[in-house]
Amino acid sequence: MKNSMWGKRVLAVIATATLALPLIAGCTASEAKDTEQRVLRVATLWGGQDDSYFRQQFTDAFELTHPNVTIEIVAAVDQSSMYGYGNTEEQPEVPDTMESLKKIMTGDNPVDVIVADTATVKSLIQENLVKQLDPLMQEDKFDTSDIVPSVLEGIKDLGDQSIYALTPTFSSSALFYNKGMFEKAGVEPPTDNMTWDDIFNLGTRLTKGEGKDHVFGFSFTTYQGGSPYYSMQQYYSSLQLKTFDDKAEKMTVDSPQWEKVWSTISKLAIDKVIPKGDEPQDQDPSGRYNPMQGDLFLSGKSAMVIGDYSYINQLIDANKNADKMKDFTKVDWDVVTPPVHPEAPEIGGNIYLSNLMAINSAAQNPDDAWELIKYMNSEDWAKIKARSSYEMVSRKSFIKPKDGLDYNIQAFYSLKPIPPTNTNLDKLYQKSPGLWQVNEKGMEYFNQVLENKKTPKEALGEWAAKGNEMLEKLKKDPKATFQ
């Protein structure tokens, strides 16, 4: 086992070094002459003793091409501090990631670069804790013309149209559809920029069969099981509906907008256009592993599903091995942009910018900080990382269909990410973990709608009343919990 692990580590180092060779060859003469040894401190929100994954993903190649720079990874919150949480009567304090991050940004030995998500970066911008990058980009003629427009616009939205961070990668989703099912039903397949109502209407037309032969027209996820209460967040997130106000003092669910959401989704579930979550899951009678098991799209149980970029790998693998799987027929598929609301026609797709890189306003080594960000967002780096299976690189020239296939790859990056509204939300949940229970309480009332025991309006009104009681208790005792 040890030899195996050692072999894997050696291969990982060799692979990184090999990929970096073209970049090393491109170093300028001035870089070659630079002999000053420097330290660059990079902050992450969470981390532990083993930072090898982060280094392999982001910093190893930079250190190979910049031998005089040593990178230190500094976690705002040590994950080991969470061990034992939930196992004792006296709960340890949940770390405040934002306050912990500020400490390592403003202390005696401040970090230089911050790698964080959109909500965190927006908060840092609002508090003037990170540098504006526009002047540096102009000075170095940093070209942004090849960066995915929706990614760049999402970044600008964080800083009032100025750029305070860049991200080398992003993750997103698209609407996968089974071309054969649409052709067989004589229905035109979905197209880009359709509304949710358009897709639900198509889904209704593709829904058919009973019992084990039932086929859903649409599913928010690729897998079986799970209440639509959680997955329908994809439907209303771009509308920026909130469960409670920004101070967590008053419920906001008793509204016409929320009623429309619950009415729409509950009717689709009751009519079996989408899974309700209580359907029996398929089991292989032999007990053997079946890659189709639990997968609504691969098993032909849903004509359309929302899936992330990495789901393409599963489809490719399944089709390649179709002859090895009993009763499996290759899936003829394509993708289009996820559905949108008319009120927000450019927003959707679960686009996440989780690896935004910004420079600390108090950075000790701002020059190398900019070099790292510039390097990580370069064409050379994108060319190397475009092979990634799980995220997409931000430079669109290197985003291409996998395995020589021809599908609508632009569907994954045509829409804009949802801008964060309440950057204080994480802090509220850290201060009052019972807020999670306020959210979870909603599922109890939503299930009553699915069971035809209450109308959406009645259920939302009762959730609002009960939620307000819970919020009042949390206001008096932030650590309160509920049965």
Residues 326 and 181 in one domain: yes
Of 378, 412, 446, the last residue of a domain is 412
Tens of pLDDT along 256-297? 999 999 999 999 999 999 999 887 766 666 666 666 778 999
Whether 60 and 128 share a structural domain: yes
- Same domain for 167 and 62: yes
Q: For residues 449 and 219, what is the distance between their CA atoms, to the nearest angstrom?
A: 19
90 and 204 housed in the same domain: no
CATH number of the structural domain spanning residue 99:
3.40.190.10
- How far is the C-alpha of 101 from the C-alpha of 76, rounded, in Å? 5
In a domain, 50, yes or no: yes
**Token pair for residue 88?**
């004792």
Cα–Cα distance, 247 to 245 (Å, whole number): 5
Q: Is 421 a member of any domain?
A: no
**Contacts with 349 (C-beta within 8 Å, 6 or more apart), sequence order:** 172, 173, 174, 337, 338, 412, 413, 414, 415, 417
Query: Does residue 198 share a domain with residue 157?
Result: no
One digit per residue, the tens of pLDDT, for the chain of length 483 reads 434 433 434 344 444 444 444 554 445 544 444 678 999 999 999 887 778 889 998 899 999 999 999 999 999 998 766 555 555 455 556 678 899 999 999 999 999 999 999 999 999 999 999 999 999 999 999 999 999 999 999 999 999 999 999 999 999 999 999 999 999 999 999 999 999 999 999 999 999 999 889 999 999 999 988 889 999 999 999 998 999 999 999 999 999 999 999 999 999 999 999 999 887 766 666 666 666 778 999 999 999 999 999 999 999 999 998 888 887 889 999 999 999 999 999 998 789 998 999 999 999 999 999 999 999 999 999 998 898 768 899 999 999 999 999 999 999 999 998 877 766 788 888 889 999 999 999 999 999 999 999 999 999 999 999 999 999 999 999 999 997
179 plus 161 within the same structural domain: no
Asked whether residue 98 is domain-assigned, the answer is: yes
pLDDT at 78: 86
Alpha-carbon span 152 to 161, nearest angstrom: 10
- Which of 384, 412, 440 delimits the end of a domain? 412
The residue with tokens 């616009």 is: 153
Same domain assignment for residues 444 and 303: no
Supply the range of the domain harboring residue 449.
432-476
Its pTM stands at: 0.87
Single residue among 412, 440, 463 that ends a domain in this structure:
412
Within 79-185, strands assigned E span 113-116, 169-170, 173-178
Q: Residues 81, 195: one domain?
A: no
- Is 325 inside any structural domain? yes
What's the CA gap between 156 and 164, in Å, rounded?
A: 8
Residue 289 within a domain: yes
* 190 domain residue, yes or no: yes
Task: Say if residue 37 is in the same domain as residue 177.
Answer: no
Which run of H or of E encompasses 6? helix 2-25
Question: Is residue 295 situated within a structural domain?
Answer: yes
Q: What is the pLDDT of residues 139-151, one digit of tens each?
A: 999 999 999 999 9
| 202 located within any domain | yes
Is the distance from CB of 304 to CB of 206 less than 8 angstroms? yes
Domain count, the chain: 3
Q: How far, CA to CA in Å, does 152 sit from each of 75, 141, 277, 456?
A: 26, 16, 37, 39
Q: Do 65 and 163 fall into the same domain?
A: yes
CA geometry: angle 259, 260, 263, nearest 5 deg: 80
The alpha carbon of residue 275 and the mean position of all alpha carbons in its chain are separated, in whole angstroms, by 23
User: What is the full DSSP assignment across 397-459?
Assistant: GG---GGG----GGGGTSSBPPPPS-TTHHHHHHH-TTHHHHHHHHHHHHHHHHTTSS-HHHH
**CA–CA dist 251, 470 (Å, integer):** 10
Alpha-carbon distance of 121 to 129, in angstroms, equals: 9
Tokens of 128: 């003037």
Q: Which residue shows structure tokens 């229905």?
A: 187
Query: Which of 393, 339, 351 lies closest to 200, judged by CA?
Result: 339
Q: Are 228 and 265 in contact (CB under 8 A)?
A: yes
Q: Are 263 and 456 in contact (CB under 8 A)?
A: yes
Is the same domain home to 55 and 121? yes
Q: Could you tell me if 112 and 184 lie in one domain?
A: no
The candidate with the shortest Cα–Cα distance to 122, out of 77, 169, 157, is 157
Any alpha helices (H) in 327-405, and if so which ranges?
366-376, 379-385
Q: Which residue is it, tokens 């639900």?
A: 200
